[in-house]
Structure 1
């Protein structure tokens, strides 16, 4: 029976005798493995990037809002504030309004909030200060409102007019002095629900006066930790449901509640699903190139079988069995796959580094990708070599020796 070391030596000799052809065949494996690694690495990088950027937009946040009147009041705010695991909470009344600066009017999201919003939203000031409990007709604005919406930039101490619809069907307008401009979050992607760049923040009590209401539209909550988000969210949801009159049998029925709850984890899950779907599609395309590479291995092995017909006849006449010949050719195919895996992993890692840098996402290369690359390459090599190896092993020794 042929020894493995002997089979490897024979296989390496065959590969060296046709260097260019072997390289071109291996190239198909290299490209396929590299493409799979790049796509999976990119998906992992995007997932980590989403986590980091959501953290920049708000720490461990839970958002609760209602589109109905007279659902939330101070009682519900106290329920949220006293729930175990809540680190900070700001009530929020939000409405699309009109902002006028000098002679230009633009639409913007107007948020009535309390000073706690600065902590919950993980906000940092580029200029000025955020709202405090003594403020009345002052506003804090995002950078898009300050620098993009109007013909001239808005600065701290400038005055803007804010108009919103009130509950009686009219329009309420007030003049606000700009107290601060919020620094852009250090992230390329921000969930729209918590992005401060397009918002104008004013004191909640002033917002309620302008709207002509006493109720609260929702809550922006910070949990103590990421691990606590789910349990805190569930506790708040259950307590709020009871306080607003949702029957016990309907507490788990989202359609029965007059409000909506979503968390940082919910947004992250949606983003990861999108990233995962895109990664699956791209990986599928990469696997097609691996299939092409496997066809290349089959072709080169079939050519090798034909070229080595007389050699196969000599080996069989020397006592090499069906299994020995099968082993020789499968080992050769496995070596081609292994070489493709080694260089594919290297190319994939380097390419991932540059692709992640180009897309401005953190470079993440999990160690399991190395094993995955080798595994895929070896499987492709061995599976692709089985048919040519069987063809060689079945050759009649007499006919092989006569082959020219």
Structure 2
């Protein structure tokens, strides 16, 4: 009886006798497996990247935004603050101000916040301290504002001048002393509305005094845990709806409510869905390469069977059983697929590593990828080898010996 060891040795000998043909046969498998491995790895890297990015702007955060300027006041602030599961909340106001430093002037987003914002938004200070509820005309600058927006860097205790345009069209200008500089968050979610590096923070009471307003643009709150964030968000939604006269039966009608809510979990879920769709699309394209590779293996194995018809006749005349001939050719096909899988896995992981470095993504290489690459290549090799091997096993030995 022909053992697995001899079958593998026989397969390697056959592959070695036709190196160029074998290399071309494995090329489709290499490309297909590499593409699948790279896409799955990049998908995992993007998912972790989004989690890290969202984590830089807050822990378990809930963003509540009014659809009209006068939606939220102090009563709504107290309502959100007293919701079970809320561990911190800051009212928000936001204006684009004309900021002057030395002789330079830039248009920069200025946010009015309370001292709780530092906690709920994960603000880390490079120098100085964050705004306090008792502060007056002080400002905390985002990292990019302090060091990149102007030709000259801005430091603690420097003064800047901010001009706001009020709702009636008049302007108000005020000098602010820099109280602190926010540490570089390295967040890349540009224009997300919540990144701290590119904005200036001032006390919300000061902003409302300057703008002569008594309302808030929205709230930035934090739930006690990620597990409870959806439940807490729903409770905030119910309380705000009741307070603002929205019937509970219309709670799911976003067009009716004068505000919108979004929490960290929902953002992560949306990001995950986007990366999942892109990953599935790319993986589907990669699977086409595997199909092409399997057809290539089958084609070459059929050619091999034809070329070795005489050899098959000799084997069967020497007493080789049908299943032994079948196993020889199946093992050869599997070895071809496995070699392609090993090379494809190495190529895919290397490609993903290089792309991660190029795009600044975290390196995520699940061990399951290696097993997946091996399994896919083994399966493709087995599938592609069954028909040619079966054809070889069913050959009549007399006719095979007469073949030239």
Using the size of structure 1 for normalisation, the TM-score is 0.91
Deviation digits for residues 102-153 of structure 1 (CA, Å, limit 9, x no counterpart): 3333211111111111111111222322111221111111122222323332
Report SS of the residue matched to 2:59.
coil
Q: Is 1:168–1:212's contact at 8 Å kept on the other side of the alignment?
A: no
Moved more, 37-46 or 267-276: 267-276
Moved more, 294-303 or 251-260: 294-303
Summarize the alignment of residues 145-160 of structure 1 with structure 2, pairs less than 5 Å apart. 145-160=145-160
Report SS of the residue matched to 1:381.
helix
The match for 1:97 is 97
The match for 1:275 is 275
Moved more, 218-227 or 155-164: 155-164
What is the RMSD of the two structures over their aligned residues, measured on CA atoms?
A: 2.4
Q: Is 1:27–1:340's contact at 8 Å kept on the other side of the alignment?
A: yes
How far is 1:336 from its partner?
1.6
The match for 2:110 is 110
The match for 2:21 is 21
Moved more, 307-316 or 88-97: 307-316
Q: Is 2:309–2:400's contact at 8 Å kept on the other side of the alignment?
A: yes
Q: Is 2:238–2:248's contact at 8 Å kept on the other side of the alignment?
A: no
Distance 1:221 1:294 in 2: 54
The match for 1:80 is 80
How far is 1:239 from its partner?
1.1
Moved more, 146-155 or 4-13: 4-13
The match for 1:131 is 131
Summarize the alignment of residues 361-372 of structure 1 with structure 2, pairs less than 5 Å apart. 361-372=361-372
Unaligned runs of 5+ in 1: none
Moved more, 117-126 or 159-168: 159-168
Q: Is 2:92–2:113's contact at 8 Å kept on the other side of the alignment?
A: yes
The match for 1:258 is 258
How far is 1:77 from its partner?
0.9
Using the size of structure 2 for normalisation, the TM-score is 0.91
Distance 2:101 2:343 in 1: 60
The match for 1:144 is 144
Distance 2:16 2:167 in 1: 84
Q: Is 1:60–1:222's contact at 8 Å kept on the other side of the alignment?
A: yes
Report SS of the residue matched to 2:352.
helix
Deviation digits for residues 1-57 of structure 1 (CA, Å, limit 9, x no counterpart): 866565445434423433443344234323321221121011101111211222122
How far is 1:83 from its partner?
1.5
Report SS of the residue matched to 2:77.
helix
The match for 1:49 is 49
Distance 1:350 1:101 in 2: 47
Unaligned runs of 5+ in 2: none
TM-aligned CA distance change 1:54 to 1:80, over 3 Å: same
Q: Is 2:187–2:195's contact at 8 Å kept on the other side of the alignment?
A: no
The match for 1:285 is 285
The match for 2:221 is 221
The match for 1:295 is 295
Aligned pairs, how many?
404
How far is 1:64 from its partner?
0.5
Distance 1:176 1:21 in 2: 75
How far is 1:192 from its partner?
1.8
TM-aligned CA distance change 1:58 to 1:191, over 3 Å: farther
Distance 2:340 2:229 in 1: 45
Q: Is 1:71–1:216's contact at 8 Å kept on the other side of the alignment?
A: yes
Q: Is 2:189–2:195's contact at 8 Å kept on the other side of the alignment?
A: no
Distance 1:318 1:52 in 2: 66
How far is 1:333 from its partner?
0.8
Report SS of the residue matched to 2:225.
coil
